Amino acid sequence: MDRPSATPASPSPASPFLTVAVVGLGTMGSGIAEVLVRAGHHVIGIEPAERAAAAAVAALEHSTTRAVEHGRITEVERDAALARFCTFADLQAAAEADLVIEVVPENYELKREVFAALDAVVKPGAILTTGTNALSVTQLAADTAHPERVLGLHFFAPAQAMKLVEVVSTVLTSPEATERVTALVRSLGKEAVPVGDRPGFLADGLLFGYLNQAAAMYEARYATREDIDAAMKLGCGLPMGPLELLDLIGIDTAKTVLEAMYAASHDRLHAPTPLLNHLAAAGLTGRKSGRGFYTYQSPGSRTKVPDDFASEDELKSKGEAQRSETSTVGTTAGAGRTVRRVGVAGSGTMACGIAEVFAKAGYEVVLAARSLEKAASAVSRIAGSLARSVDKGRLTAEDRDAALARLTPSGSLDDFADVDLAVEAIAEELPVKQQLFARLDKVCKADAVLATTTSSLPVVEIATATSRPQDVIGMHFFNPAPAMKLVEVVRTVLTTDEVRTTVHEVCKRLRKHPVDCGDRAGFIVNALLFPYLNNAVKMVQEHYASVDDIDTAMKLGGGYPMGPFELLDVVGLDVSLAIEQVLHREFRDPGLAPAPLLEHLVSAGCLGRKTGRGFREYARA
């Protein structure tokens, strides 16, 4: 669909390009075109499919109409913007462009053909860019007549909203071309992050390994798709779960990126999990096809509909079958046990947070520490936290007083004799936890549920320190416990259905979201989070990108609330290293081996915020 040519308005003063050609008007291409048009550029849209070209024009008309309705632009400005966008079916239309942005499908031969045709069409000073995030920009440039003018320009979807653009220079790219394109990106109000040419570049290089592991976790029936997605959203504050995101990106696209990453790294974590291959081969590519990990109302819809594809019932029945084969302990179906009184063992930050959560939910709570003084101090800290909630209007003074009245400090586990649920929140050391559970076994009544809050240790090894392992379960709260909604419910091969149901009922009363997972290192969140953090450290270690650029890329390109190095410094490098060591020991995968740079920083005592120095330096209090 062609629009009559019009004299372009002047772009922003900082921009070095007046006319830009966008080759390929799919979702990404039309989004980039809109960003450029609204920044004042004359955009030549090149798209052989008439329907796609018409859709791009309609999208611009719709967005500019909404901008007028919301008072962001005038009718005159809208008409001028629409006049700056022309669509054509032939690459010859790029002859007048100062810059070309190619956004055709991720197929090397197709892109090579496009660039060969552009070589014969564009003017000598024009710069050619590719929007690939998986293919070699260097190889693409080398196959052109002027490789010095070719570079990568990787926008993120949706281009109108996402602030990150990766500017990919090759060993053949002229510095002037890089500088001009970087200036353009900044003139659009985007953050330009310079990266070298390797599959996935920076953000996707970290993101797709994580997505692949999530798909593998689901394929292994370790957890349901809903629980995996909920865990990463509620446990890490991510805008989308990994399986939802794979459906949005396109499973075929993810497979292509991962294959390119694996070819370069030979890291098994980058090898597309078989499920991705099977879904792509079946045409179940996600939202665009109407079905991927989830089923959607129609192709292109974001609305999920019920289906029987790896449903909760299927996973539950499979889990019950596995337990019947491996467990010698009978399970009890039906309702859970009654819980009125709770014991919390520990006096640290997590123990205090958990005790506060239970007290606010109406449970009678005994908080036991090594001494009565430590327990009383912990209750005092809880009182301070409750007072702050009152000051912020999140809690009434009456509810605060009632919660405090339900808290009883104790210097002895003997006071757990009548609790219905005992929750351990002490040091993350297996022998220490085993010793505590042996004591709980002797002290607690016969029908009490015993829960550990471990984030990385084998729950079954803690359970077998007791004479009743069937009553032991993991309840992994996230810090800060009063604010974080997620609880990973970790069931061993010995845990009964009744105990699992009891914990789910308790979580509901606590207003927490429980997700079920099996007893293996990292559970859901840490098993997906820490390899991603470790890979970020490897990027810095290999001098591929800086700490600041990686943090910026993941916040702006991935929608993460914190960059990986901000998070590592908050969690503590020693804690992070310990979790990564546990994951490596459990799965024996070379790709999970802790990055040497992380080990060196821990050895040097640079543990993050708590020591004043980690990946960054911090002012001491």
Structure confidence by residue, pLDDT tens digits, 147-158? 999 999 999 988
Burial of 264 (C-beta count, 10 Å sphere; 0-12/13-18/19+): middle
Q: Which of 476, 498, 534, 584 is catalytic?
A: 476
Q: Which of 488, 498, 566, 580 is catalytic?
A: 488
7-21, 191-205, 224-238, 475-489 — which is least confidently predicted? Answer: 7-21
The yes-or-no answer on residue 265 being catalytic is: no
What pLDDT does 314 receive?
Answer: 44
Amino acid at the residue 234: L
Q: How does strand 486-491 pair with strand 472-477?
A: antiparallel
The yes-or-no answer on residue 226 being catalytic is: no
Burial of 501 (C-beta count, 10 Å sphere; 0-12/13-18/19+): middle
Long-range contacts of 545-549 (CB under 8 A, 24+ apart): 545/193, 545/195, 545/202, 547/615, 547/616, 549/193, 549/194, 549/195, 549/202
* CATH number assigned to the domain with residue range 203-310, chosen from the 4 options 2.30.29.30, 3.40.50.300, 1.10.1040.10, 1.10.287.70: 1.10.1040.10
Separation of CA 617 from chain center: 26
Answer for the pair 170, 150: CB distance below 8 angstroms, yes or no: yes
* CATH number assigned to the domain with residue range 525-611, chosen from the 4 options 1.10.1040.10, 3.40.50.1950, 1.10.3720.10, 3.30.465.10: 1.10.1040.10
Instruction: For the chain, give every residue range classified as CATH 3.40.50.720.
Output: 19-195, 341-518
Q: Give the helix ranges, DSSP H, for 240-348.
A: 242-249, 251-265, 274-281, 312-326
3-state DSSP assignment of residue 296: strand
Q: 341-518 maps to which CATH number? A: 3.40.50.720
Tell me the CATH architecture of domain 19-195.
3-Layer(aba) Sandwich (3.40)
- 10 Å Cβ neighbour count for 71? 7
Answer for the pair 228, 241: CB distance below 8 angstroms, yes or no: yes
In the predicted model, what is the mean pLDDT of residues 260-270? 92
What pLDDT does 577 receive?
Answer: 96
Decide if pLDDT at 319 tops 50.
no
What pLDDT does 517 receive?
Answer: 95
What pLDDT does 468 receive?
Answer: 97
What pLDDT does 533 receive?
Answer: 98
The yes-or-no answer on residue 133 being catalytic is: no
Decide if pLDDT at 320 tops 80.
no
The yes-or-no answer on residue 377 being catalytic is: no
Tokens of 431: 């022998």
The dihedral sign for the CA sequence 319, 324, 328, 332: positive
Q: How does strand 42-46 pair with strand 85-88?
A: parallel
Q: Which of 389, 526, 534, 535 is catalytic?
A: 526
For 288, the enclosing helix (H) or strand (E) is none
| 170 confidence band (pLDDT: 50, 70, 90) | very high
Q: Give the relative orientation of helices 547-558 and 525-541 as an angle to the nearest 10 degrees.
A: 140
Q: Which of 133, 455, 456, 535 is catalytic?
A: 455
Amino acid at the residue 324: S
Instruction: For the chain, give every residue range classified as CATH 1.10.1040.10.
Output: 203-310, 525-611
Q: Give the relative orientation of helices 564-571 and 525-541 as an angle to the nearest 10 degrees.
A: 110
Q: What is the dihedral of CA 514, 516, 521, 526, to 10 degrees?
A: -40
Separation of CA 59 from chain center: 29
Decide if pLDDT at 1 tops 70.
no
